[in-house]
Amino acid sequence: MSDTPASAGRTVTGIDPRGPRFAAYITAVLLLVVVFLGLTGLPTLRGTLTFVPRGVVVDADEWAIVHASLAERATAPSFLLLLVVALLFLWSVLSPRTAPWGVLYRRVVQPRLAPPTELEDPRPPRFAQGVGLFVTTVGLVLHLVGVPWALPVAAALAFVAAFLNAVFGLCLGCQLYLLLQRFGIVGRAATV
């Protein structure tokens, strides 16, 4: 994730493509934990509740999140961890050079690897972080509003994208960026 020369004669700016993939590994693990917490916690709980301080008894056919207070929704472990992930996405969009996973990669992992054979344009991975931010933010907002399953579904969608990038090198957000670029919606058209 640093600007490095591709050859001694000319300088090419770009990022090491292994950096975003490294970040995707960590993000995928965090999102998998969010999905697990969401599937076993308040976002998907149905039936009678005994932890609601207002004494509301939830019928077996109702979602617990609908009767939970805003404070209960905001302190659910799945919400808090997804909020951390969303803030990390935001950090990666606003300041990719200082984002924690990028710094960790550049300082700890990259020095132990051979130099990259090619560099990539930093715009598609940054756009992908923005897509991750959007998906997780939608899940967080819908969870706070009281929509059942919104949080684990949003986390699962983000997990699939992070998993594909980490394991197979397929960055869905990057592909979306390139598609939007082809139609002239974002970025400059590629020169041939």
Q: Is residue 1 part of a domain?
A: no
Q: Is residue 35 part of a domain?
A: yes
Q: Is residue 23 part of a domain?
A: yes
Dihedral of CA atoms 121, 175, 92, 187 in degrees, nearest 10, equals 60
Instruction: Report residue 89: phi and psi, to 5°.
Output: -60, -45
What is the total count of domains within the chain? 1
Q: Is residue 134 part of a domain?
A: yes
127 vs 13, more confident: 127
Q: Is residue 173 part of a domain?
A: yes
DSSP 83-145: HHHHHHHHHHHH-TTT-HHHHHIIIIIGGGSPPPSS-B-SHHHHHHHHHHHHHHHHHHHHHHH
Looking at residue 74, its amino acid is: A
4 vs 29, more confident: 29
In this predicted model, what pLDDT tens digit does every residue of 140-178 receive, in sequence order? 999 999 999 999 999 999 999 999 999 999 999 999 999
- Residue 45 binned pLDDT confidence (cut-offs 50, 70, 90): confident
- Residue 10 binned pLDDT confidence (cut-offs 50, 70, 90): very low
What mean pLDDT value characterizes the chain? 88
Q: Is residue 7 part of a domain?
A: no
Residues 6+ apart with CB under 8 A from 3: 11, 13, 14, 15
Q: Is residue 145 part of a domain?
A: yes
Domain that holds residue 29: 18-182
Q: Is residue 84 part of a domain?
A: yes
pLDDT at 64: 87
In this predicted model, what pLDDT tens digit does every residue of 86-141 receive, in sequence order? 999 999 999 999 999 999 999 999 999 999 999 999 999 999 999 999 999 999 99
